Each structure stands twice: as C-alpha cells, then as structure tokens.
Amino acid sequence: MAVLGLLGVWLGFLWLTSQYVRAAMFYGPLDTQHVPMQPFAAAQGIGLLLAAGLLAQRLPAWSGDAELARRAQALTQRVSRLTQTRSDATEVAVAELRRIERDLHDGAQARLVAVGMSLRAAEELMRSSPEAALALVTEARKTSSRALDDLRDLVRGIYPPVLADRGLAEAVRALALDTPLTVDTDISLPGEPPMPVAAAVYFAVAEALTNAVRHSGACTVEISLEHSGETLRAMVTDDGDGGADPSAGTGLAGVERRLATFDGILAVSSPPGGPTIVAMEVPCSLTETNLPDAGRDGSGPAGIVTGEDGQPAGSPT
C-alpha cells in the first residue's frame, strides 16, 4: 500500500513538474490537448487518496493522541451525565405521578365518596326526617365544593392554567401577584421557551418564592427573567435573613434535578444575614409560535394591547 501511495505521489510530482516546465517554456496557457494527461491524473488521484488514507491512520500516533483522548473523555463524561439526568428525570416523573395519585386519593376522590354517602343517607331520611335530609344535602354540596378546590390545586401543580394561557412571562407575573410579599419583576422574554422548559423554570421560580415566604423572613422579592445567547436565566432575590441550606430541603434539590434534564443549572447564594439569591440557567431557544394564539399582540379580534411593561394598557400600578 505504502509503495503504491508513494508511486502515485511520485507520478503526480513528475506530471506537475512537466506541466510547470512546459508553462515556463511557452509562457502560454497550458495546452492539455497535446499531453496525454488522463493516465497521469488518474494515477495521481489514486496515489493521493491512498496516501491520505495512510496519513489519517498515522496522524493520531504522530500528533493527535492527546486531542482524541480529550474528546473521548468529554464524550464519556457527557454519556455519564446524560445517564444520570435521564434516570433522575424518570424518577422525578414517577414521584410526580405518585404524588398526583395520592392527592387524588386523599382529596377529591375521598370527598366524592363522602358526597355519595351523604346523598345516600339523605335519600333514607327524606321522608322520615326532611330536616336532617336537608342538612345532609347541604353538607354534600359543601363537600363537592371542597373537592373542586382540591382538583384546582392539583391542576395548578401539574400545569398551571395561566402558563398554558399566557406563557412563561405572564405566568411568572401572576405568580408574583399571588405571593404574599412585595414582589418586583424584571422580565424580558422576546419569545416563548419550549413548554417543558417553561414549566420547569416556572416551578423553579415558584419553589424559590415559596421558600422566601416560608423561611426567609423577607419583605421584598425581586424576580428577573431574561434570555440571551441561547440561555434562559432566572433569578429570585429576597431581602430576608439568608442562611438557607439548599441541601437541607428536598424542594430546591428537586428543582435542580428537573432543570438538569435540560442541561440547566441552579445556584444558591445565601450568606447569614442575607440576601438569598437563587439563580438558574437553562440553554434553550425561544419561539414566537409556542402558544395556541400566535397573534396575541392586538392583531386578533380579541387581542389585548399591552403597555411597555407587559401590563395591559391603563392597568393600575
């Protein structure tokens, strides 16, 4: 093989030299018709190909061993990280399903059983004791109302309706409004992240807000949300006492695992005395058409004109 390759290179060299000499002699364009160059060219082509093949085989041994090893190591690390995050994602999904099953079982399902029992008892008492029957029917109605409350809470925990309606930016604003603290938002998202990312970031922000309300003693929280360089960044900062230990509770650890599925990361800074900063980054691109209603900026018959801050025009501040 090596001999053939060298032969090809030598023939090619000969041919090139002859062309060069001819060109130099006549100062004119190369006259290919007077030279039987096809056999030379073919031989040269084959030779070069073989030589290149040999070179490619030999190259790592000469200079690229370190580079290849580095790439192999990076790939191994990537595979092991993907294996880890995939198994985490599966576990998170199963845990989530079990929580939903438990909530349904202990909540709405149990209440509906109670409603049925009350109504059955009311049937029995209808004639003999209408007063008691009426009281049972009223109780059944109240229990059905509580079953609806349970279902509503459950739905919010699965995929919040406002997130489905309006997308991440508005859903985070709604979250800020529902938090019993003063929450300032600084949100600039020119589009919508993919739905799974939007949900993960929404619940991450919600978890950080819940922690701020429950543990930090904070009065004011700032949420910022922005997208640049193919990365979605969210930050929740509170003016509380600090000293939060992200490894102590399961909440932020779960958030971290959920974000890791999208190669996202979570960082918590909470020195004693505060402030507590929860920051997260998820690589993703934004699209304009993720939401069911693409033309939402006042173009449709039922669009809402929004001001610069994303609030409806003329909304109270």
Nearer to other proteins among residue 196 and residue 303 (C-beta): 303
Q: How far is the CB of 141 from other proteins (least distance, A)?
A: 5
Residues with Cβ within 8 Å of residue 186, at least 6 apart in sequence: 222, 223, 224, 225, 226
Q: Cis peptide leading into 246, omega within 30 of 0?
A: no
DSSP label at residue 33:
G
Residue 156 beta carbon to other proteins: minimum distance, rounded to whole angstroms: 7
**Three-class SS state of 292:** coil
Element (H, E) at 233: strand 231-238
The contact set with other proteins (CB under 8 A) reads 141-142, 144-145, 148, 152, 155-156, 161-162, 164-166, 170, 173-174, 177-178, 180-182, 219, 291-293, 300-304, 311-317
1: helix, strand or coil:
coil
Q: Is 6 exposed, middle or buried (0-12, 13-18, 19+ CB in 10 A)?
A: middle
Q: How far is the CB of 201 from other proteins (least distance, A)?
A: 18
Nearest-5° Cα angle at 70, 68 to 74: 115
Residue 170 Cβ vs other proteins, minimum distance, rounded to whole Å: 7
Name the E strands within 130-230.
Answer: 182-188, 220-228
Nearer to other proteins among residue 170 and residue 256 (C-beta): 170
Nearer to other proteins, 143 or 276 (CB): 143
Question: Please, what is the minimum distance in Å from the beta carbon of residue 194 to other proteins?
Answer: 17
Residue with tokens 């970031």: 201
Residue 54 or 162 with smaller CB distance to other proteins? 162
Give 234's strand partners. Answer: 225, 280
Measuring CA to CA, which residue among 229, 232, 228 is closest to residue 266?
Answer: 232
Minimum Å gap between C-beta 157 and other proteins is 12
Ramachandran class of 98: left when φ > 0, alpha when ψ lies in -120 to 50, beta otherwise: alpha
Q: Least distance in Å: CB of 280 to other proteins?
A: 22
Tell me whether residue 116 or residue 303 sits nearer to other proteins (CB atom).
303
- 40 SS3 class: helix
Residue (64 or 303) nearer to other proteins, CB: 303
> Whose Cβ is closer to other proteins: residue 54's or residue 174's?
174
The answer for residues whose C-beta is within 8 angstroms of residue 89's C-beta and 6 or more apart is 257, 258, 261
